[in-house]
Structure 1
Amino acid sequence: MLIATGGEAIAQSAGFNTTYIVLSINNSSNLYYDLNANTGNYDFNDAQLGAFCAGNTNALIFKGAEHNVFKCNGCDLTSTRLYYRIYQTGTSGGAFVSNALNYFSENSSGGCVNQRWQKLDFNTNLLAGLSAGNYTFEVYSDASITCQGGTAYASNNGANYKAYFTVDAQTVGGTVSSAQTICTGTAPANLTLSGHTGSVVKWQRSTSADFTSGVTDIANTSTTLTSAQIGALTQTTYFRAVVKSGMCSEQNSSSVAITVNPQTVGGSLSSGFTFCTTSNSGTFTLTGHTGSIIRWESAPVADFTSGVVQITNTTTSYNFSNVTQTTYYRAVVQSGVCAVQYSTVGSVTINPNTWTGAVDNDWSNPGNWCGGVPSADDDVVVNENTVLPVIESGVTAQAGSITVLSNAGITIESGGNLIVTNAVDIEEGGEFIIEDNANLIQVNDVANTGTANVTKLSSPLYRLDYTIWSAPVEGQNLLDFSPNTVPTRFYSYSENLDIYTGLNPAVTDFELGYGYLIRMPNNHPPFVSSETPGVQWTGNFTGTLNNGEITVSVANTANGFNMVGNPYPSPINIHDFYTENTGIIEPGSALYFFRKRNDTSATTSTYATITMAAYVANEAPGGDTGSDTFTGNPANWVINPGQGFFVKVDSSPIVFNNSMRAIANNGQFFRQAENNNDDWAISRLWLNFTGVNGEFSQAAIAYNAQTTTGIDYGWDGRSANDGPIALYTTAMGENLSVQARGEFAVQDVVLLGFSVSQAGTYTIALNNLDGVFTAIDEIYLKDLEEQQVVNLKETGYTFNSGAGQINDRFEIVYSMEALDNAAFASAQNVVLYQKDGVITIDAGSTQLHSVKVFDVHGREILEKKDINTNTAIFTNAMPKNQLLIFSIITEKGNVIKKIIN
């Protein structure tokens, strides 16, 4: 606007002379930046204000502004302001922040007034809320005036004034990974920094976890600190990275520990131990080790190259006991992650348990051994000594192995037994003597060495009698065995020809597992009379003791009969022999033993017969019938050393093995073992068949839950009677010397056959019985031809017969119903039961007369007479948890019932 003054027009005006923005940077005093000024101050426009750390409250402060203005010719300036905005460079800015200044001072000059407006206490933190990035700081000023449109600007010709600065992200130290455990003298794996903000300035190491001591800088600005840069460590060391983000302060990363374990030292074991017995104990102690014991180890070799056994034990001591062989021990030690180390090796040396004979010759005296009486694990050495060991009668000795040195010896006396786990080795000049009725049993299939002497007495015989022998040793010549036997009286058996065949004994040795028929020596006492007993002959076997599995080739080209024999210096179990040869021995075959005098009367069969069920005698003159021997538990019956026998086979080979060998000291060629089991659930009866001229035959009937009325393998035995008379039972078209049937039933009927070579008078009589037959009163022989019945428990039965074989004349029955061919109604109607400890007999409509109760041994427990009702109740205390046999007499006959109480 123009104002006329004194006839002259004067222009009104107002505006900015100079403008400043005032900043404090990094806690500096006020810094004046020129906007439209041109002074010695910093120019704001295009200025680089610097880099600042995000969140820093004192790094970039807007303190205020100063405006120097003018107003002339009546134009007034009433207020002034400074505007600013901050935005990321390259983006559009936001709204400006207005900051009003205060009037400060003025002066006049040439009709104009110059004023200073300022405000220096805004103290605004320009970094507040800013994230990391590059920023533009844009500024302009204006003033309110009363002329020229009302507003004056200082805006760099409308472009405004712009300065620039950078905001750096705050430093984050991050995380170092990973912690490690190493062995001293080795370098760890690389360490890596992650999760950090900023750049790595350096790495640091320290021996303290808080980095308060022993800190060393590592010149490395990478996020990876390599294994090579770390190097080998000898103590636990801590590592961290130092990080800096721009102008932000340095920050430390998390620290990581490299734990250093000392090198493993295996240490030393206490001295070794030496024993001469497997009954031993001791303690190894570990000292001088570094690290933890992770286990112990043992091995049979000192270098631990084989047979290593790991032992769970983490203590510094190891207790051993009952070590059976020389064994080496060591501790396994490990210090942290360092390599495993082994301690020195300690040994437990097991020397053979050596015989000293310091007290006497008794094997069982511990004072005679360096390590006490040997056990089944002890290796035994018998060396030359003035007193040598004897295993006495009734003693069962044990050893792991036996070595008999030259000029030393062992004697197993009659009735003694020796069980050896492994081999028997006899040096040249050493002796190993097994007397008659003594036994050597070996467990493992190992070869023996050296020469032993085994003695076996024959049955009582006469000069011209025969025995089937089988050798318990290898290398025994036939003629050397019985040098006084006529050389033409040694025989083997030809299965194909079904005859005994002669052989040359001078050039023939006993083959393992075969039997040989040998006549008594020609200087043996001859037969005098039937009243003169025979004399036992002493057979001496010399050779290497047989042991382990022995297979015997047998044939079935004609009749299948083969002559074999016990190949061991110990008995073999008959049940085990049958079991092992299942599928080889023909079902129905018994084991047949030569039991005949070489007499001309020929009154009896040549062979005695045995199965798993019963033994049938032939009562050879001068011999033992055996009928009082094979009783009790058949599972314990054995064939003694030296005994040969016949068996009928379907195929080959017959197998003998150590599992069959058993202890028995009975002095017979074939008898039962000593561990008789009276509770064996079998019931048997033996019938003798005799003639007036001494003829003899025997048959047996057995009842057993394991067998049937058919032909049962190993239980039934065909008749091999070659005498003038024969008695047998029949089943499945077979004539049986031994017949095994199912469980006993009083209604059973057994067909009894016989053969006689001459017409004459004969007798059938009960010879022996056991099991349930001890509890019943009736064993009837029924003569179908003469319509006669006798109770064989009361008397024998004598009858006349023509010559021939007769299979349909006799029956064995056990009840009147069976005699009457009744339908066994009586037995079916009698019920026996137990409830609440009371045993009741209910005979239905049948009247009871009396009852006897027996245990399984045939012992009478109680009897109840004159019952005369149809029920009987037993409340008396009777044996519990065992089989009881009730013999019940009714008005219709005898009934047998069994119950487990």
Structure 2
Amino acid sequence: MSAQTNTFNDSLLDGVAATTGAGDDTWETATNWSLGIIPTAAHDVVIPDGMLAKIKVAGALANSITASGTGKLQINAEKSLNVTNNVTSGSNSNILFVTATGKSMGTLIFGGTFSGGNITAKMRLPSNDDWHLISSPLKQATINNYVTNATTIVTNGSSKYSLASYNDANAAGLKYTYFPNPLPNTTDKLEKGQGYSTKLNNTGDITKPDVQFKGKLVDADFTIAITDGGNGFNLMGNPFTTYLFANTAAHATNNVLALNSGILDEATLWFWDNTAGGGTGDWITKNLGDFATYHISPVQGFFVKAKTGGGAFKFQETMQTHAKTDGFYKTSKDRFEIDLLIATDDVRRSTSIRYTDNSTTSFDSGYDSSLFGGYSSEFALYTQLVKDNTGKKLAIQSLPNANLENMIISVGVNAKAGSEITFRADVLNVPAGYNVYLEDRTNKTLIRLDETDATYKTTVSEAVTNGRFYIHTRTSSVLGLDATLLNSVSIYKTSNSNLKITGLTQGESTVSLYNLLGKRVMTTSFEAANTNNVSLPSLSTGVYIVKLQSDKGTLNKKIILE
């Protein structure tokens, strides 16, 4: 059975009828339509020349959409339209996506093709005069249109716009490339699927920093190349006029991480949130292990990290959804979690530890996530792997939900040398009979963290502190045998010429290096500190055994020189 044509009735919206109140511009008003009913998925919707139909509810339906002549369709902020088949736009800006303060732009999902002229999408950024990561929700959108029609875009002495692409292969401090003012070519396009950094300053009305795009709807799956240059970070962005399923909690299979995990160094997404970190801005880390549903909003940019060799990053129509994420909220599941936080002045940082049945003590991609490494931060909090620690700084660490007392978790802090920091923790679902402690090996202090309003204030003497702070989950405040503590000592190479040892606090220690034939090729002694660096001689590539002897006992570790 063919679809019926349902036309937005212009007789109800001409000048005379409008002044008498006989009609309005609302999609949801049945009398505005030629069939006398609100369109359903069985209707081919036509918006004729001179008409403006506004969608003011979520879940509007149509079989197809045609905005002919100067007829316009407007999807209001946080409202939505599902179209089974094709969308056709007559002249420029026949279809409008609008936004409002505190709200995302309206969304459209369609199953067919798009044809016709450009359409317009507007999105209001969360804050004014701040840096944001964005992307175009339309293909073929020009850079010139963006810098011309966005709320006042900041310029650097008028020579560059505050709109930049990202290349991690560039040197530190030069990874963002800002577009020149004036643009050398006004027809250059914003790449679909690519993210950009931007800053707007709407000095006349700071509540409305709006970005605007003019282009065409993306109507097919596509890929965009990501590279492993530099540290491998690539700035991506949502290319659709919808939200995207980000993780398995949002959709079991059709989510951004699951469909791209094969080309990623780790299955993690990093988002910049300038309201986080106590209002100073911080990176929000999302992975497959999140219980909370997360959706990537329209116009949202985000970072991923390519594995060696890079690959083709997928954007698929099956990732699309109208559902939004209502903030970054905690899970209500029964999982044991520790969210550790530090603060200095008004700046805050956090790191998460999760205990799940399927995790290991080594690195599990999609469940363990590094801190964002695209730039260095002088204030950071992270944990390091319980097993096979090589210095990776983790924003999220997932561990087995068993053998809790033997998993001692190293906590790292980056802070200004001599600064005072305060620890606290949000601890959820602690197993019965267990308590969570923070150990400070320098001050020989053990603080219980799972008590109400528990805090620990101390001063760090170095800008980077490793081997001093540890998390314990125990049935007793007595730490136990030296052998247990020795297992928390980390030994790893930072280069072929340097060995790092963290977790020893005092006393003379000796480290020796043996090749696989059992021949000792190096030995040296040192006075233990939280962190010790040991120089390695020039050695052939291969596997070596490190033997550490201290007053706590003997520890052997394997390293590979490449």
CA distance in 2, matches of 1:559, 1:411: 42
1:678 CA drift (Å) = 6.4
**Residue of structure 2 in register with 1:459 after alignment:** 126
1:448 CA drift (Å) = 4.4
Query: Per-residue CA shift, 1:654-697, capped at 9, x if unaligned?
Result: 1111111122346x8xx46xxx99665644332221123x3432
- Is the CA contact (8 Å cut-off) linking 2:439 and 2:446 kept in structure 1? yes
CA distance in 1, matches of 2:334, 2:84: 33
CA distance in 2, matches of 1:391, 1:802: 59
1:706 CA drift (Å) = 4.7
User: Which structure carries more relative contact order (alpha carbon 8 Å, separation 6+)?
Assistant: 2
CA distance in 2, matches of 1:691, 1:362: 52
**Residue of structure 1 in register with 2:213 after alignment:** 541
CA distance in 2, matches of 1:443, 1:378: 14
Match 1:376 to one of 41, 57, 63: 41
Instruction: State the AA in 2 paired with 1:637.
Output: Y
Is 1:390 the counterpart of 2:41 in the alignment? no
- Is the CA contact (8 Å cut-off) linking 1:418 and 1:441 kept in structure 2? yes
1:762 CA drift (Å) = 0.7
1:803 CA drift (Å) = 1.4
Change (3 A) 1:761 1:699: same
Give me the TM-score of the superposition, normalised by structure 1: 0.44
Query: Per-residue CA shift, 1:563-595, capped at 9, x if unaligned?
Result: 1111111111111100110211112x5322334
**Residue of structure 1 in register with 2:503 after alignment:** none
**Residue of structure 2 in register with 1:438 after alignment:** 105
CA distance in 1, matches of 2:112, 2:228: 29
Instruction: State the AA in 1 paired with 2:33.
Output: W
- Is the CA contact (8 Å cut-off) linking 1:568 and 1:641 kept in structure 2? yes
CA distance in 2, matches of 1:445, 1:560: 35
**Residue of structure 1 in register with 2:377 after alignment:** 723
Match 1:799 to one of 421, 442, 458: 458
CA distance in 1, matches of 2:7, 2:226: 43
- Is the CA contact (8 Å cut-off) linking 1:603 and 1:724 kept in structure 2? no
Q: Is the deviation greater in 742-751 or in 558-567?
A: 742-751
Q: Which aligned pairs between 1:840-859 and structure 2 lie closer than 5 A? A: none
Is 1:653 the counterpart of 2:312 in the alignment? yes
CA distance in 2, matches of 1:691, 1:594: 20
Change (3 A) 1:797 1:660: same
How high is the sequence identity, in percent, across the aligned residues? 21
CA distance in 1, matches of 2:145, 2:440: 55
Is 1:578 the counterpart of 2:257 in the alignment? yes
1:392 CA drift (Å) = 1.6
**Residue of structure 2 in register with 1:494 after alignment:** 167
Instruction: State the AA in 2 paired with 1:451.
Output: N
Q: How large is the Cα RMSD of the aligned pairs? A: 3.3
Is 1:356 the counterpart of 2:9 in the alignment? yes
CA distance in 2, matches of 1:411, 1:776: 58
Is 1:689 the counterpart of 2:342 in the alignment? yes
CA distance in 2, matches of 1:758, 1:677: 33
Match 1:741 to one of 378, 394, 399: 399
CA distance in 2, matches of 1:643, 1:368: 35
Of the two, which has the highest radius of gyration? 1
**Residue of structure 1 in register with 2:417 after alignment:** 758
Change (3 A) 1:738 1:381: same
1:753 CA drift (Å) = 1.7
CA distance in 2, matches of 1:769, 1:604: 24
CA distance in 2, matches of 1:785, 1:612: 36
Q: Which aligned pairs between 1:35-74 and structure 2 lie closer than 5 A? A: none
**Partner-residue secondary structure (3-state), 2:397:** strand
- Is the CA contact (8 Å cut-off) linking 1:703 and 1:742 kept in structure 2? yes
CA distance in 1, matches of 2:92, 2:217: 16
**Partner-residue secondary structure (3-state), 2:216:** strand
**Residue of structure 2 in register with 1:590 after alignment:** 268
State the aligned residue count: 432
Change (3 A) 1:742 1:777: closer
Change (3 A) 1:439 1:774: farther
**Residue of structure 1 in register with 2:225 after alignment:** 553
- Is the CA contact (8 Å cut-off) linking 1:604 and 1:725 kept in structure 2? no
CA distance in 2, matches of 1:811, 1:493: 36
Q: Which aligned pairs between 1:249-648 and structure 2 lie closer than 5 A? A: 323=1, 325=2, 350-356=3-9, 360-371=24-35, 372-384=37-49, 388-393=52-57, 395-428=58-91, 431-436=94-99, 437-444=104-111, 446-462=113-129, 465-483=130-148, 484-485=152-153, 486=155, 488=160, 489-498=162-171, 499-504=175-180, 506=183, 507=185, 508-521=188-201, 524=203, 535-575=207-247, 576-587=255-266, 590-596=268-274, 607-613=283-289, 633-634=291-292, 636-648=293-305
Q: Which aligned pairs between 1:2-151 and structure 2 lie closer than 5 A? A: none
**Residue of structure 1 in register with 2:521 after alignment:** none
Give me the TM-score of the superposition, normalised by structure 2: 0.69
- Is the CA contact (8 Å cut-off) linking 2:342 and 2:422 kept in structure 1? yes
Is 1:710 the counterpart of 2:374 in the alignment? no
